[in-house]
Amino acid sequence: MKIGTRFKLVFVFAILAVLLTACFDSKDSMEGMDHSNMNQSGMTNTDSSNQSNVNTQDKTSKMTTLKGKEFTLTAKTSNLEITPGKTLPVWTFNNSVPGPEFRVKQGDTVKITLKNDLPEPTTIHWHGLPVPNEMDGIPGVTQNAVQPGKSFVYEFKATVPGTYWYHSHQDGANQVDKGLYGAFIVEGTDEKVDRDYTLVLDEWMSMGDMDMSSMDNSSMNMDMSSMDHSNMNMDSSKDQASSENNMDHGNMGDDAHGSSAEGHDMSMYDIYSINGKSGDSIDKLIVKKGEKVRIRLVNAGLLSHNIHLHGHEFKVVSTDGQPINNPASINDQVISIAPGERYDLEFEANNPGQWYIEDHGDDPRVKGMKAIIAYEGANADTDKPNETAALPILDLTRYGQSSNSVFTLDQKYDLEYTMDLNTDQQSGQQVYTINGKTYPDTEKIKVKKGDLVKVRLVNNSKTDDHPMHLHGHFFQVLSKNGKPIEGSPIVKDTLNLKPGEEYEVAFVADNPGDWMFHCHELHHAAAGMVTHLQYTDYKSDFVPDPNAGNKPE
C-alpha cells in the first residue's frame, strides 16, 4: 500500500470515528435513522453470518459452465485470491467470481432458482435479455428482494441469441461490486467457431483484504439519509472509494486529498481483473493454428476499458449481443467497452505465438487487465505489451455496412423524449440527474404497447461518462452528435455517453411492464440517475413489501 493511500485511510477512519461518535452520542440525530436496520445488524454485531466473509476461510472455486434448462444459483460470501497472496472478500454466485457462465440454446425456456445464502437480501437481473417484466429482478419494482435463507425462481424463454450477463440488482453499487455477476450466453443455431472465450472485466480495491470485519457490515450502510453526512457506507472494500468521496462532497468541507470535485474517486479501484484474476494469474486463451476464435468481452465493472487484441486482424461481430452487419477486419484499434456493454470479437488463428489481449491507457492499473492468447506448442516470445500506446478507438457509428433497419431518423414516432443527464450538488451531496431530478423523483417515460419511441440522450456532465442501460428492450442507435449512423445499424441495450455527447435512439414498446432505464455506473444510479419506462396499459400484480429492504438501483 502506498503511503498516500494509507494516509487517506487513516484520515477517513479518523473522520468516521468523529462522525459516528457524534451521531451515536446525540439522541436527536438518531431520530429518523432506521433503527430496525441497526438493531438487526449493528456495528458491534458479532454474529458471524453477518460478517461479510473477511473472517471465513472460504475460498472461491473455479468458474463453471452451466448448460441445459434448469439451474440453481446460490448467492454466498467467499474470498477471492485475485493474484497470489492477494485475497479479497467477495460475494459470489455458486462460490465463483464471475459466477457460472450460462450457455443456453435459443428458444429454450430456462428455469433458474436463486438461493440466497448471503447476509443481505438480493435479486438477479438478466442484463440485456428481453425477459417478461416479472422476471427482470428489480427489487420493489418487479419483485421483492429475496431474503437471506429464501429462494426465488426465474423462468423465461431465451429468445434472442447473443452475449448477455446477469447480476444482482439489489443495492447494485455494492452487490455487483462485490462480485455478484456472471456471463449469460444464448447460443443461436448457426454459430460455428472452434474456440469461444468469454472475458468478464472488473475492478477491485486492494484494501479489500484489510480486516474491517468489525465494520464490514451492511449496517454501516444504514439509512442515515436524514443526517447531513449520508452515504458513509463502509460495508465493502470498494465502498471506501465512495465513502471517501462522499465525504469530500458532504459538509466535511475541505477537499483534503485532492480528489476530483466532480464524480467518484475511482482511483481507489487499483486492481483490474479478467474473469476474477489479475495480471499473470489470468488464464491463457489456448488456440490452434487455423481455428476460428470468438472472444466475448463483458464489462461488469464501473470503468470503461480500451481493449486491444495483438497479432491478428479481427472483426467486431456484435455489440450487446446484437450482430453488426458485414463488419470489416481491423487491427491496432482498441474496443472501448463501458460498464454493462458487451462486444464479441472474431479472428482467424493464423499467427502462431503468444499474443496479448489487453487494456490500454496511461494508468499503471491497466497492466492487470491482460490475457494471453497462446497457440498450442508455440514459442512464448512473440509479443510485448504496449498498453500505453495511444491507439484509435473503433468508431461504431462508422463500422460495418449500412442496411435496411427497423428505424430511421425521419420517420414518425408516437413519443419523442429527451433525457438530459447531468452531475449536480444537492444539499451538499453529489447527485446524478435526469432532467434535473433524482430517482425516485425522475419523470417516467410513459408508453403504450406498440408505441414507436425516440429518445434523445444528452450528457451534460463535465467529466462523467454515463453508460445508459434500458431494461427489457433493444434500441437502435440513430445518430451521434447530430450525425446519422453511417455504418451497420447498431442495436444495443447499453449506450455510453461521454461528456458532451448526444445520441438519438429508437425502439418499439413491445414488452409491457415497468422497466428501469438507468446509468450503469452504479454509483451514479444509486445517486439519482434512474428512471422508468412505464407502460400505461400494463397492470402488475406485484405488491412491494415495505419490510423487504428493497433497493432497486
Nearest to 292 by CA among 332, 250, 339, 347: 347
Complete DSSP assignment for 425-437: EETTEEEEEETTB
Q: Which CB sits closer to Cu ion, 125 or 264?
A: 264
Which of residues 272 and 432 has its CB atom nearest to Cu ion in the complex?
A: 432
DSSP string, 239-279: HHHHHHHHHHHTTT-S-TT---SSS--GGG--EEEETTB-G
Exposure pattern of 115-149 as b/e (b: 16+ CB <10 Å)?
bbebbbbbbbbbbbbbbebbbbbbbbbbbbbbbee
Residue 440: is the preceding peptide bond cis (ω within 30°)? yes
- The number of residues that bind Cu ion (CB under 5 A) is 4
Interface with Cu ion, residue 365, by CB under 5 A? no
CB of 355 to Cu ion, least distance (A): 34
Using CB under 5 A as the binding rule, the residues of this chain from 502 to 531 that contact Cu ion are 519, 521, 524
Q: Is 433 exposed, middle or buried (0-12, 13-18, 19+ CB in 10 A)?
A: buried
Site string for Cu ion, 91-130 (x = CB under 5 A): ----------------------------------------
Least Cα distance to 477 among 396, 390, 391 occurs for: 396
Dihedral-angle region of residue 219 (phi above 0 means left; psi in -120 to 50 means alpha; beta otherwise): alpha
| Complex with Cu ion: residue 445 or 495, whichever CB lies closer | 495
Amino acid at 483: K
In the complex, least distance from residue 522 CB atom to Cu ion, rounded to whole angstroms: 9
Closest CB 12 distance from Cu ion, rounded Å: 24
Between 52 and 430, name the residue whose CB sits nearer to Cu ion. Answer: 430
In DSSP notation, 223-240 reads: --TTSTT-----SSTTHH
CB of 459 to Cu ion, least distance (A): 8
Residue 120: alpha-carbon gap to chain centroid: 19
The least distance separating Cu ion from the CB of residue 469, rounded to whole angstroms, comes to: 10
Residue ranges with strand state E in 94-242: 101-105, 109-116, 125-127, 151-157, 162-167, 181-187, 195-204
Of 493 and 521, the one with the shorter C-beta distance to Cu ion is 521
**In angstroms, what is the minimal distance from the CB of 484 to Cu ion?**
25
| DSSP, res 387 | T
Distance CA 43, CA 262 (A): 30
Length of the chain: 553
Q: How far is the CB of 540 from Cu ion (least distance, A)?
A: 27
Most distant CA atoms of the chain, gap in Å: 72
Bridge partners (DSSP) of residue 479 are 484, 504
Question: Nearer Cβ to Cu ion, position 369 or 527?
Answer: 527
Closer CB to Cu ion, 466 or 469, in the complex = 466
Shorter beta-carbon distance to Cu ion: residue 113 or 460: 460
What string marks each residue from 444 to 483 as x (binds Cu ion by CB under 5 A) or -? ----------------------x-----------------
Q: How far is the CB of 263 from Cu ion (least distance, A)?
A: 9
Whose cell is 447498431? That residue is 490
CB of 525 to Cu ion, least distance (A): 7
Closer Cβ to Cu ion, 76 or 466, answer by number: 466
Nearer residue to Cu ion within complex by CB, 180 or 497 = 497
Q: How far apart are CA 157 and CA 255, in angstroms?
A: 51
Nearest distance, CB of residue 470 and Cu ion, angstroms? 14
Which of 222/525 has CB closer to Cu ion?
Answer: 525
Judged by beta carbon, residue 423 or residue 511, the one nearer Cu ion is: 423
Decide whether 203 or 521 has the Cβ nearer to Cu ion: 521
Nearest C-alpha neighbor of 369 from the set 207, 209, 202:
202
Q: Residue 90, Cα to own-chain centre: how many angstroms?
A: 15
Phi, psi of 494 (to 5 degrees): -135, 125
Smallest gap, in angstroms, from Cβ of residue 420 to Cu ion?
13
Residue 211's φ and ψ, nearest 5 degrees, are -80, 95
50-79: contacts with Cu ion (CB under 5 A):
none
- Report, in Å, the least distance between residue 471 CB and Cu ion: 16
**Rounded distance between C-alpha atoms, residue 501 and residue 59, angstroms:** 43
Cα dihedral 127, 181, 192, 332 sign: positive
Residue 521 CB, shortest distance to Cu ion, in Å, is 4
**Interface ranges with Cu ion (CB under 5 A):** 466, 519, 521, 524
